[in-house]
DNA sequence: TGGTTATTTAACTTAGTTGTTAAATAATAT
DNA sequence: ATATTATTTAACAACTAAGTTAAATAACCA
């Protein structure tokens, strides 16, 4: 999980994944859109491979890379556990905004003395 | 997006988020389960805050931290674009397993010439 | 005021990441 | 064999990250 998120934390690597979603391809072709040396790309690919996000074949002198989406699924599942939370947040925002509107109508000027402790 | 994934790449920080999903709480309480100095935790919280994953209030000498799930939603949305991809993978696996079963039924006796490589 | 509790900042160490260029390896083509 | 094309490894520099201890802030308590 850590290595998956770490791999996704780099925009170059996310772009590589996006490219690979269109289909398997060679390192040179992957590298083309980037202003970056070949070895740099090669190492990004190594990071992706270690995270299990790609696999590499051998076809003559090319090493085609292929997207492996399983770790993405795991990451997605992890995030999914927080779904209620972000949906709730919007609900709360709604609620809060309503409260605020009521207050503004009611007492347009008094400021807070109420203390709270958790 | 990068800072969100980077923040999630650390297991301590993921654990902190899990704790905060149960409710807002103080730094000391967040730190309790970890064998780690206070400043270390404090800096993890700073990382989470910079990524927009938590917000911090002030209540007497405590600084309660609160989960902010919006960046998680964004991350989830990003991953969602690959859903077809990982579902496809399972389809392919299914297919492959079926093919395999057929083969096994068909030629359940020719042994010793098949080579496999890991 | 001074003391206590909660939290952050500073200074430092160690380790890992990201990029570079130059050289090495791998397979094909002549 | 040798040259060519594709890709990786080595060696290095600059930067960032994660932890430590000790000291600084901040707000309360007496």
Please state the φ and ψ torsions of residue A22, each to the nearest 5 degrees.
Answer: -80, -15
**Is the CATH code 3.30.830.10 the one for domain A2-73?**
no
Please state the φ and ψ torsions of residue A36, each to the nearest 5 degrees.
Answer: -160, 145
Q: What architecture (CATH level 2) is domain B2-69?
A: Orthogonal Bundle (1.10)
Q: Compute and round to an integer the Cα radius of gyration of chain A.
A: 24
Predicted pLDDT of residue A77? 97
- Residue spans of the domains in chain B: they are 2-69, 74-103
- Cα within 13 Å of Cα(B78), Cβ side: 21
Nearest to B73 among A10, A17, A86 (CB): A86
Pairing of strands A65-67, A54-56: antiparallel
pLDDT category of residue B74 using cuts at 50, 70 and 90:
very high
Predicted pLDDT of residue A60? 85
Please check the confidence at residue A113 and state whether its pLDDT lies above 50. Answer: no
Assess whether B40 (CB) lies less than 7 A from strand D. yes
User: Could you write out the DSSP letters of every residue in B25-81?
Assistant: B-HHHHHTTSSS-HHHHHHHHHHHHHTTSEEE--BTTB--EEE--HHHHHHHHHHHT
- DSSP-assigned letter for residue A62: B
The answer for A 50-79 residues in CB contact with B (under 8 A) is 67-70, 72-73, 75-76, 78-79
pLDDT category of residue B107 using cuts at 50, 70 and 90:
low
pLDDT in tens, A24-61: 999 999 999 999 999 999 999 999 999 999 999 988 88
pLDDT in tens, A67-105: 999 999 999 999 999 998 888 766 666 666 667 666 666
Pairing of strands B65-67, B54-56: antiparallel
Predicted pLDDT of residue B115? 36
Comparing alpha-carbon positions, the chain B residue that sits nearest to A14 is: B2
Q: Residue B72 and residue A86: Cβ atoms within 8 Å?
A: yes
């Amino acid at each position: 999980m850590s290595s998956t998120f770490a791999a996704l934390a780099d925009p170059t690597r996310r772009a590589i994944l996006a490219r690979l979603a269109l289909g398997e391809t060679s390192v040179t072709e992957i590298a083309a859109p980037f202003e970056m040396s070949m070895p740099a790309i090669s190492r990004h690919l190594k990071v992706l491979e270690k995270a299990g996000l790609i696999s590499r074949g051998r076809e003559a002198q090319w090493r085609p890379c292929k997207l492996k989406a399983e770790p993405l699924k795991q990451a997605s599942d992890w995030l999914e556990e927080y779904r209620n939370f972000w949906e709730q947040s919007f609900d709360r925002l709604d609620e809060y905004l309503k409260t605020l509107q009521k207050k503004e109508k009611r007492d347009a000027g008094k400021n807070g003395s109420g203390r709270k402790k958790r």
